[in-house]
Homo-oligomer: A and B are copies of this chain.
Amino acid sequence: MTPGKASDQKHAVANLSNLYRIFTVPESPDSTLGRIDQEISQNLNGFLRNHIVATEQDLTIIEQGFSSPRIPEQPTFVSDYTEFLLDTLVAQSVHTAAPGFVGHMTSALPNFMLPLSRIMTALNQNLVKIETSKAFTPMERQVLGMLHALIYGKDDAYYQHWMHDPECALGSFCSGGTLANITALWVARNNLFPADDGFQGIAKEGLYRAFRHYGCEGAVVLISQRGHYSFGKAADLLGIGRDSIIAIPTDADNRIDIGELQATCDRLKEQGIRIISLVGIAGTTETGNVDPLDKLADIAEQQGCHFHVDAAWGGPTLFSETYKPLLKGIERADSVTIDAHKQLYVPMGAGMVLFKNPASLSSIEHHAEYILRKGSKDLGSHTLEGSRPGTAMLVHSALNIIGRKGYELLIDKGIGIARTFAAMIDADADFELITEPELNLLTYRYVPAPLQALLPKLPAGELAAVNRELDALTMQIQKVQRAAGQSFVSRTRLSRPQYDNDTITVFRVVLANPLTTPEILREMLAEQKQIATEDPEAAAIVAGLLESVAED
């Protein structure tokens, strides 16, 4: 059904004259939408299971349901629309909460999130200013304070002083890690080129005059080659250009190579190029590794530059007494990104950046005549975004309801099952573990046993050719498995030292859903093996590979 077509003609006027009703009369529980609403309330997992179709439809077919660019002239009945929505959109959405969905960083949500989200939506606050958010403003400031305390652990007097200070902000709440990272680099850039004798600062005069005033030929950001793509975006946006993201090589464990970093810093100094920020990663997107943050902090200190940690994924590891030491040094960072919609288990659209120094954000402060006046506690004077929803409430609720110990359990469980899965892969002769889980991510690929034994012995050229075939095999298995809808792994490309730094395609697994069991992972491997043998395209690649091995 195309919305806006069915049954409209005869009821359109009735609908129009009833327009005010939609602002005053709630959906009846007996209506289609009311029933769906109750179904979700009473049995979320059942709703997802019942309404999301497992097997994938071709995208071009799905697009047919969303092909008209015309806004319907006449109103559509809510019930008609709801049916359309269930059949066309919900049915073909992704079951991100499924325990077999271990390909991306989206997981099941705690059930209390749904009714709490409804409260948030019903209140429809705008966090840009107190006048449209009142108590939500101190609540968000507390959330930022709580995360700040988790990272920096200052004493109570510190937070009593700073948490609700109108002139400052301990951080900035935003829609996600990308904006958090951009905000951090924006602050770092502005603090590197402040007002000076005869110069009013980069915020006011811009980058061109800043470079000229400070006699600088370039300004860069140093991050390992496993850095998130948002840093490239930030460099473009901030006017330093993508080339100013200097990708430092990593060691065999995907951690930034400290020697290379030091050498690069020295070279930059000779060239008159300034460092806007050193970036450490706590949980790389592709492999979940953690840079040696303490050593990075040393170098940042020695260089006198900003030190940012992208802990969008790994930040909540701080909840775990066992694994917290992996992040040692994060408390020395000038800024830290944490995504709430990842391992804080909040719905999509919540990120934060925290600053060690409550004055840091002053470098991007802005005001207006109708809001954000100087001295107000309006949060909007220190955020990249303007109008923003009260999502911090969901973080506040999760921190309280789950508590430090609850999160610890989730973190420990995730890392535990990742190790179990790694052992499972290691024990299976047809799979090759590519990166060990340091946190709860790992990568691997399917390599038929006879071939796996030979790989280390192949000459360089032949090895590359075999890897290209394996890349195609990995892609095919991933695609077929995703389409079958039982489980989902993602894929990425990684350069690997064991293969002369050849870049290979691998399966990528993220284990953050507490409902994922070893049994589910075992079945996932079995399905991949089955695809490798039974899917014609995959089987052909396997056959070709085994044939070439037999010839050797």
Contact = CB atoms under 8 A, between A and B. Distances in A.
A371 B478 CA distance: 14
A41 interface: yes
Contacts of A25: 111
Contacts of A114: 26-27, 37, 118, 121-122
Given A25-B111, A103-B131, A349-B389, A400 B4 contact: yes
B387 A116 contact: no
Interface stretch (A66-74, A260-268, A524-532): A66-74
A208 B205 contact: no
Nearest to A230: B386
26 contacts: A15-B403, A16-B405, A19-B406, A20-B515, A22-B112, A23-B108, A23-B111, A25-B111, A33-B112, A36-B115, A63-B138, A71-B150, A76-B400, A91-B135, A92-B134, A93-B135, A94-B134, A104-B129, A114-B121, A177-B386, A203-B236, A238-B239, A348-B390, A349-B389, A369-B493, A370-B490
A163 B27 contact: no
A514 interface: yes
Contact of A66 (B71, B108, B141, B488): B141
A370 to B, nearest CB: 4
B71 A399 contact: yes
Contacts of A514: 19-20, 23
Interface string A240-254: 111110000000000
Contacts of A133: 93-94
Interface in A87-134: 88-94, 96-97, 103-106, 108-119, 121-126, 129-134
Contacts of A15: 403, 406
Nearest to A368: B229
A71 B404 CA distance: 6
B68 A142 contact: yes
A177 B406 CA distance: 37
B401 A78 contact: yes
A320 to B, nearest CB: 13
A466 interface: no
B124 A96 contact: yes
Interface string A26-37: 110100011011
A492 interface: yes
Given A33-B116, A131-B490, A138 B409 contact: no
A292 interface: no
A117 to B, nearest CB: 5
B366 A229 contact: yes
Interface stretch (A42-50, A298-306, A324-332, A536-544): A42-50
Interface string A165-209: 000000000011111001000100010000000001011111111
A75 interface: yes
A237 interface: yes
A66 B36 CA distance: 36
A371 B228 CA distance: 11
Contacts of A70: 146, 149
A356 interface: no
A12 B115 CA distance: 23
A437 to B, nearest CB: 16
Contacts of A202: 236, 239, 241
A3 B393 CA distance: 13
Interface in A210-232: 211, 218, 228-230, 232
B209 A241 contact: yes
A26 B43 contact: yes
A388 interface: yes
A173 B529 CA distance: 40
A403 B204 CA distance: 44
A40 interface: yes
A286 B369 contact: yes
B3 A400 contact: yes
A547 interface: no
A109 B23 contact: yes
Contacts of A384: 178-179, 182, 233, 237
B206 A89 contact: no
B108 A409 contact: no
Contacts of A112: 22, 27, 33, 78
A56 interface: yes
A425 interface: no
Contacts of A492: 369-370
A65 interface: yes
B142 A124 contact: no
Interface in A495-545: 508, 514-515
A104 B131 contact: yes
A122 B66 contact: no
Contacts of A118: 37, 40-41, 114, 117-118
Given A26-B42, A111-B23, A72 B399 contact: yes
Contacts of A65: 135, 138
Given A42-B29, A176-B385, A131 B482 contact: yes
A370 B285 contact: yes
B19 A111 contact: no
